[in-house]
Amino acid sequence: MTLESPGQPTESLAWTSLVPVVEQGGREQRTSFQCSFVALTRSNDSRVLVAALIGFHHMVPIAWLRWMAGEDGEILDVYVAAEYRRRGLATVLLEVATGLAEEQGWSKPEHSGQRTSSGEAWALAHGAGPATQLISDEEWESDPARGVGP
């Protein structure tokens, strides 16, 4: 499956379905709803470059976390649909992505130095140092290089 983001050049890299990530029990207690996950990777011929963990509720994608799984682990973006925010889902995504990275031998997700103000609060709460660059949520959402979705 190839997913191209607006404003990004078409490359020979493709998003490939990797594996359903089975997470049963425990997580619902923290998020107050059941969520399932699937991981996609973007690879060249020899290695995984980027991974995306997508969270689903009732078969509808509601959140994702993308990171540089084949390099330094830098988190590229985290998104949670508005109606699911402030319920621990971003933290669950980070935990599941970290476990998946360990299982697959990829770089674990690490907080980027460039963050939104809400991303800054979340990163600091999870042990990251201060951001090197803060951008507004509006600027992040309107950045065509970021694309839409994983």
Provide the pLDDT for residue 6: 37
pLDDT by residue (tens digit) across 75-101?
A: 999 999 999 999 999 999 999 999 999
**Residues paired with 4 in a beta bridge:** none
With pLDDT > 90 as the criterion, what percentage of the chain qualifies?
51
Provide the pLDDT for residue 35: 85
CB 69 within 8 A of CB 60: no
Matching CATH number, 14-142, of 1.20.120, 3.30.70, 3.40.630, 1.10.760: 3.40.630
Provide the pLDDT for residue 22: 54
The rounded distance, in Å, linking the Cα atoms of 53 and 63 is 8
pLDDT by residue (tens digit) across 44-72?
A: 877 888 999 999 998 899 999 999 999 99
pLDDT at 123 over 80: yes
CB 50 within 8 A of CB 28: no
Those residues whose C-beta lies under 8 Å from the C-beta of residue 89, and which sit 6 or more positions away, are 31, 35, 55, 62, 63, 80
pLDDT at 43 over 80: yes
Provide the pLDDT for residue 115: 93
Strands (E) in 36-122, as ranges, are: 36-43, 48-57, 60-67, 75-80, 114-116
Domain locations in the chain?
14-142
The rounded distance, in Å, linking the Cα atoms of 45 and 48 is 9
